[in-house]
């Protein structure tokens, strides 16, 4: 079954404690990205990756890092989380960018930073 | 830059009512357009898409037509059900810049 899997699904952490949200897809997709969803703001792209070792900033990259060492994995790293990073995070993938390709989303990770 | 604007919610309808959720876009070049649906507690799922002007996307009774002249991609359904209650997102894929842009989402509540 085609899947985008992200973990953890729910996390409460304290300010400044580094955390990583993992994302894995089993569809051999080239394109992966991270979004955060906040009330009234919809989904905003944090980072995206066109392929292995190719990453770029989205609209709201501050406070986040990513890496793409393998095609299937695209972890999101918060080096020093702050309360304004409390949000619902979605990982997504598609076969490749462009050409009207469908994005597949993970189920979301609820992150609370206190 | 590219952007998507959709009508604010929530939208509350009675079962079997007609639904329209407006979506307009601004884009350079020829984007692809999508509607995604998010049911409570779940991630986003593709509802329908259209990749070029005048294409009509359809699925589960929902339809949307890619109108280049009005830069719109309005979502319609002739008869909504309680199970359609969800948040609906209009999205644009900017081919040249390899980015997806989402609207802010419209919450639909359907009452029995």
Between vectors from CA A100 to CA A96 and to CA A105, what angle results, nearest 5°?
65
All residues of chain A having their beta carbon less than 8 Å from the beta carbon of residue B10 are none
Is A102 a residue whose pLDDT tops 80? no
Cβ contacts (< 8 Å) between B91 and chain A: which residues? 103
Residue A2: pLDDT band with limits 50, 70, 90:
confident
A14 by DSSP, 3-state: which? coil
The answer to whether the CB atoms of A45 and B99 lie below 8 A apart is: yes
| Structure confidence by residue, pLDDT tens digits, A39-97 | 878 889 999 998 999 999 998 999 999 999 999 999 999 999 999 999 999 999 988 75
Q: What is the pLDDT of residue A97?
A: 57
Model pLDDT, residue A41: 82
Residues of A with CB under 8 A from a CB of B: 4, 31, 33, 35, 40-45, 48, 50, 58, 90, 92, 97-108
- DSSP letters, A20-57, are EEEEEESS--SEEEEEEEETTTEEEEEEEEEETTEEEE
The alpha carbon of B82 is separated from its chain's Cα centroid by a whole number of angstroms, namely 18
Please give the full DSSP string across B68-108, using - where no structure is assigned: TTTTB--EEESS--GGG-EEEEEEEEETTTTEEEE---EEE
**Interface with B, mutate which of A98, A99, A110 (most B CBs under 10 A):** A98
Kindly give the pairing relationship between strand A76-78 and strand A19-25.
Answer: antiparallel
- How far A81 CA lies from chain B's nearest CA (Å)? 23
| pLDDT digits 0-9 by tens, B45-60 | 899 999 889 999 999 9
Contact residues, chain B, for A106 at CB < 8 Å: 43
Largest CA distance in chain A: 41
A72: Cβ–Cβ under 8 A, 6 or more apart, which residues?
A24, A25, A26, A28
Instruction: Give B-chain residues touching A50 at CB under 8 angstroms.
Output: 98
Mean pLDDT, 10 residues at a time, chain B of 112 residues: 88 97 91 92 89 94 96 97 96 75 92 95
Task: Convert B84-103 to b/e letters by CB count within 10 Å (16 or more is b).
Answer: bbbbbbbbbbbbebebbbbb
């Amino acid at each position: 079954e085609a899947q985008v899997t992200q973990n953890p699904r729910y996390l409460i952490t304290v300010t400044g404690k580094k955390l990583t949200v993992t994302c894995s897809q089993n569809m051999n997709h080239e394109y992966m990205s991270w979004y955060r969803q906040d009330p009234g703001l919809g989904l905003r792209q944090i980072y995206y990756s066109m392929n292995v070792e190719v990453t770029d900033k989205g609209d709201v990259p501050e406070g986040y890092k990513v890496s793409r060492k393998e095609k299937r994995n695209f972890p999101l790293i918060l080096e020093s989380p702050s309360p304004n990073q409390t949000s619902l995070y979605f990982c997504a993938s598609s076969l490749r960018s462009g050409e009207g390709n469908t994005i597949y989303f993970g189920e979301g990770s609820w992150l609370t930073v206190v | 830059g590219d952007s998507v604007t959709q009508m604010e919610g929530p939208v509350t309808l009675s079962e079997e009512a007609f639904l329209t959720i407006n979506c307009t876009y601004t884009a350079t070049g020829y984007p692809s357009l999508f509607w995604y649906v998010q049911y409570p507690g779940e991630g986003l799922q593709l509802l329908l898409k259209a990749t070029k002007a005048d294409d009509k996307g359809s699925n589960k009774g929902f339809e949307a037509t890619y109108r280049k002249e009005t830069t719109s991609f309005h979502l319609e359904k002739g008869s909504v059900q309680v199970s359609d209650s969800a948040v609906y997102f209009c999205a644009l894929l900017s081919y040249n810049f390899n980015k997806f842009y989402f609207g802010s989402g419209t919450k639909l509540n359907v009452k029995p």
